[in-house]
Structure 1
């Protein structure tokens, strides 16, 4: 890294706010390409944190269950939840139940409600996320009692003025290697452990592709490690087995994790 490790995810997002360079590059299977600068990614995280607190009543230690489909908005939701001091737990969207205070998932490719949100646990708020980058809300509207993320998040403030820091020993993410929670204080150090020895391999690359077809704790830790390195993270849900993906990485001056 070329700057000191921030003490928490909100402080990492603070460093992104001062950057006009790309922080996130998304290549969708539908051909969509989305580029978010550090400043814009910070904006999405702040708006999401404000939505979490003001509309979803989330606080320190509350749990956000996140559908496991890879999408750039899943990262915005995750960073926003952590900024608000909540814990995030990826879950299989094919399941029908999940414990948690809030359950968040993407609509399917046809705009249909994902199974994870079809039967949310009693008392949990459901948040439905649309796919297109320019979406202003779900076609046909959200189901009863569900929050339409794309319709609601834009109305929230661009700066989060809540917790200065998440509770240090509060849960943030399940550890993929041991049966316990990673705390907010340990989240970034644990992410760098995931990337140990890769800085030299990444060299002068401007971006790093984090592979994977589902969001899980290891995936999120790797995304954090790339952001903490000062590079852009490249995400995709498209097939990367053919030569066209190599051309994408070359064009973006990116390497693989």
Structure 2
């Protein structure tokens, strides 16, 4: 049964983001990174990040249905934001294989821009640390530094192409159309409430679909980096403190 009011659809990313802001201050994505980093995105903050990123995609790259955006990023809160923004404008998230820079795409969003030099892609360099104000490393000439660029765009979506349900929404070798993203996400999530999860590896569709499934059931995700998850598995007391403080209802760290 849908957790949302009767008659209200939750079939598109636009619907989902609107519904999440019914409780704008409620945590929706929480990140536990290495070295004690913790980032919490409420419904309102998550929507703002997605809107800013979607505005960038449209303004800089004319992104829309048919645009392929390679997300060459590890499991991370920023990866979730970029995926939601790509879907919000009706474009297709493409996930890397072992030869990531050879995957056909129009735009590459990556934390390792050097792997995509001289391939004819439009490259966006993403700094993963929450407080980063610029990408700290070499990047191809003409590439975009997401750390500064995203922040220049409005918190409110200016304009986005209409999502075409039958157009590809996800491609990791198996194509999922936009119309099926929610159902695929619910299958991947497999739970409701507030889930503690280990962030999935680069190129793993579950890195995107599990948090999307949590959100689609009016829940939330607490994502732990692989190193943090390993530390939690080795320290039962620390793990229990985190479960209690975050009010976790599904501890799925494995």
Please indicate, yes or no, whether the TM-score normalized by the shorter chain is above 0.5. Answer: yes
TM-superposition CA deviations, 1:55-87 (whole Å, max 9, x none): 122221211111141221111111111111110
Partner of 2:72: 67
The correspondence for 1:169, drawn from 166, 169, 172, is 166
Larger helix share, 1 or 2: 2
Q: In the alignment, is residue 8 of structure 1 matched against residue 9 of structure 2? A: no
Alpha-carbon spacing, 1:256–1:135, altered in 2? closer, same or farther (3 Å) = same
Q: Offset of 1:120 from its aligned partner?
A: 5.5
- From 233, 251, 254, the equivalent of 1:256 is 251
Query: Normalising to structure 1: TM-score of the pair?
Result: 0.83
Q: Distance in 1 between matches of 2:140 and 2:243?
A: 39
Aligned CA distance change for structure 1 residues 90 and 140 (closer, same or farther; 3 Å) = closer
Structure 1, gaps ≥5 residues long:
107-112, 200-204
Instruction: Return closer, same or farther for 1:50/1:247 CA change in 2, 3 Å cut-off.
Output: same
**What secondary structure sits across from 1:126 in the alignment?**
strand
| 1:57-206 equivalences in 2 (<5 Å) | 57-92=62-97, 95-106=100-111, 113-117=112-116, 119=117, 121-122=119-120, 124-139=121-136, 142-163=139-160, 165-174=162-171, 180-196=174-190, 198-199=191-192, 205=193
The alignment covers a number of residue pairs equal to 239
For residues 120 and 235 of structure 1, what CA distance do their matches in structure 2 show?
A: 34
State the Cα distance separating 1:136 from its structure 2 match.
2.1
Partner of 1:202: none
Residues 1:23 and 2:17 are matched in the alignment: no
Partner of 2:59: 54
Asked if the contact 1:93/1:105 (under 8 Å) is kept, the reply is no
**Matched position secondary structure for 1:133:** coil
Q: Using the TM superposition, give the Cα deviation of residue 154 of structure 1 relative to its aligned residue in structure 2, in angstroms.
A: 0.7
SS in 1 for 2:64: coil
Distance 2:240 2:16 in 1: 29
Q: Quick one: distance in 2 between partners of 1:45 and 1:228?
A: 16
Query: Which blocks of at least 5 consecutive residues in structure 2 are unaligned?
Result: none
Instruction: Note the aligned Cα RMSD (angstroms).
Output: 2.3
- Using the TM superposition, give the Cα deviation of residue 115 of structure 1 relative to its aligned residue in structure 2, in angstroms: 4.7
Q: Is the 8 A contact 1:188 1:225 kept in 2?
A: yes
